[in-house]
Amino acid sequence: MCIAVPGEIIDLFPPQARVKLMGVETTINIQLIESPKIGEYVLVHGGCAIEKINKVYFDDLFNIFISIIDEDEKKDG
């Protein structure tokens, strides 16, 4: 199964960008998306931004990931 993680672009230095993914900053490739801008939200897979997404979708996905993490912590707990 493949999974893409929602992230926010916080800095640009084409062909790469700095993004915040689940509170962690990392560098990704942005060559697969058109005209990326600081403050935009993207789906990241394999170190590449693969699609731009809107804030509502970003928030929904972020909350899903948080709930998965919370459930795992309860199990380990």
CATH no. of 5-76: 2.30.30.140
Query: Domain extents for the chain?
Result: 5-76
Read off the pLDDT band of 71 (50, 70, 90).
confident
Read off the pLDDT band of 76 (50, 70, 90).
confident
Query: Can you say whether the dihedral through the CA atoms of 72, 44, 56, 39 is positive or negative?
Result: positive
Task: Name the more confident of 32 and 77.
Answer: 32
The predicted model scores a pTM of 0.89
| pLDDT tens-place string over residues 1-54 | 789 999 999 999 999 999 999 999 999 999 999 999 999 999 999 999 999 999
Cα-based distances in Å from 40 to 15, 67, 77? 16, 23, 35
pLDDT of residue 51: 97
